[in-house]
Amino acid sequence: MSAYQVQGHSALQIGLRHILPNIAPVVLAQSTINFGYALMDLAGLSFLGLGVPALTPDWGRMVFDGQTAVQQGYPLSAILPSAFIVLTVVAFNVVGERWVDRVARRDR
C-alpha cells in the first residue's frame, strides 16, 4: 500500500497525478515518429494500388501516375510528390527526436 492510498487517493487520482505526466512526453514522441512511418506505409500502398481509391488525391498515387509523365519528359510529376513524402516523414521524425531529447534532458 502506497502513501497516497493511505491518504485516501483513488487509483485514478494517482494515475492522473503521477503516471500520466511521466508517460505523456514519451507517448507524444513515439506517436510523432510512428506517424512518419504510417505516412510511408500509406504512400507505398497507394503506389502499389492498394491504398485509397483512384480519384482520391494521395502522394503515393501521384508518384505512380507521375511515372508515365517521366517517360514523356515531365520528371517533376514524380519528383515533387516523392520529395514531399520524404520531407514530411523527416519533419515528423525530427519532431519526435526533439521530444525524446527533451524528455531525456528533463530526466537528468
Q: How does pLDDT run across 93-103, given as a tens digit for each residue? A: 888 888 878 87
Residue 13 within any structural domain of the chain: no
Residue 93 within any structural domain of the chain: yes
Query: Number of structural domains, the chain?
Result: 1
Tell me which residue range forms the domain holding 66: 23-107
Q: Rounded CA gap, 37 and 60, in Å?
A: 14
Residue 66 within any structural domain of the chain: yes
Residue 60 within any structural domain of the chain: yes
Residue 3 within any structural domain of the chain: no
CB within 8 A of 67, min separation 6: which ones? 78
The pTM is what? 0.75
Q: Rounded CA gap, 74 and 72, in Å?
A: 6
User: What are the angstrom distances between the C-alpha of 88 and each of 1, 11, 32, 83?
Assistant: 47, 40, 11, 8
Residue 29 within any structural domain of the chain: yes
Beta strands in the chain (DSSP E): none
Residue in the structure block whose three cell numbers are 485514478: 12
Q: What is the pLDDT of residues 11-25, one digit of tens each?
A: 888 888 878 878 877
